[in-house]
Amino acid sequence: MRNYFLEYRHELQRTFTGTSGTPPEWVPRLAEGNDAGYHLPGSAVWAVHGSMSTIVAGIRVLLMQALHPGALAGVYEHSGFKEDPLGRLASTIRWIFTVTYGSTEAAQEATNRVRKLHQRVQGTYIDGNGTPRDYAANNPELLRWVHVTYADSFLAAHRIFGGPIPGGADAYVREWASAGRLMGVEDPPVTETEVRRELDRWYSSGVLRCDERLAETVEFIRTPPLSPLLRPGYRILFAAAVASLEPKYRDLLGLRKARLGPVPLPAITAAKAILAFVHLALGRRGPSELAARRRLERLGRASSRG
């Protein structure tokens, strides 16, 4: 049993960061830097991003973001999500955790790295109204869609699978707006109501589109090339992400709620058990948070000496 548990932990680490047994090289560097960064212990962002709910949120946000044909075209035509989906996942996690836990300089450097990669991501797409449009990954409209669907998905998943958020949902949206500004989002939403209003605007605009490319992407998200050890749990977490979607978005994606097991078990209930096991495997605090706390302790000691 111990060997199974250790192997399971290593597969989780390899999936999320590309390494196992030891943190990736960028994690210890979160202990470096000369300021507290954009977010602190006790913040809404630390509460949400330190929760196991982020795993379901990550699946949900991929589904939501794929609904915008411009965002999907950029991923489909320019990223290696099919050839190396776990590498792309690890890169995304690196940016999120660096902005969450790193110093201001580290967060800005990580964001500049992403924006530089985005410079070559451009092309054309057909929107849901049949209108040809140009796209670029650094385009303010697409950046806004990515940011808003991220905030919506992380709040929705945390509401189901996480604990209390200091200051509530609005505090999370307001705090994570800093990440949107770093990426180039102009005047990002700062309340949950604003997030929902913007999503409704996109939905009613007709820009979002369901086509063969979306169906293929959804199927890939449903059955990614994971280790056999992780596949049964992932199937449940995918079903939970689908269950957390608003019905109108599930319909656009061609998905429906699933009930699991010989005696049908609601996906949400099953997912809570899976996340509890993942939490047990990974530990109470992740290495990124621990590195950030070391930086903050060092800065606190230096301040007290001064």
Each residue's pLDDT tens digit, 225-277: 999 999 999 999 999 999 999 999 999 999 987 665 544 568 899 999 999 99
Percentage of the chain modeled with pLDDT above 90: 68
Q: What is the mean pLDDT of residues 140-161?
A: 96
pLDDT at residue 1 above 70? no
pLDDT (mean) for 150-169: 97
For the residues 25-35, what does the mean pLDDT come to? 96
Which has more confidence, 262 or 94?
A: 94
Q: What is the pLDDT of residue 111?
A: 97
Residues in contact with 68: Cβ distance below 8 Å, sequence separation at least 6, in sequence order = 142, 145, 202, 207, 208
Contacts for 230-235 with beta carbons within 8 Å, 24 or more apart? 230/8, 230/11, 230/12, 230/15, 233/274, 233/277, 233/278, 235/260
**pLDDT value of residue 130:** 87
Show me where the domains of the chain are located. Answer: 2-293
The string of pLDDT tens digits covering residues 179-198 is 999 999 999 999 999 999 99
Give the contacts of 153 (CB within 8 A, at least 6 positions apart).
Answer: 57, 58, 60, 61, 64, 244
- Band of residue 25 on the pLDDT scale cut at 50, 70, 90: very high
Average pLDDT score, the chain: 90
Residue 44 has pLDDT above 50, yes or no: yes
pLDDT at position 196 is 97
- 164 has a pLDDT exceeding 90: yes
Residue in 28, 6, 54 with CA at minimum distance from that of residue 280: 6
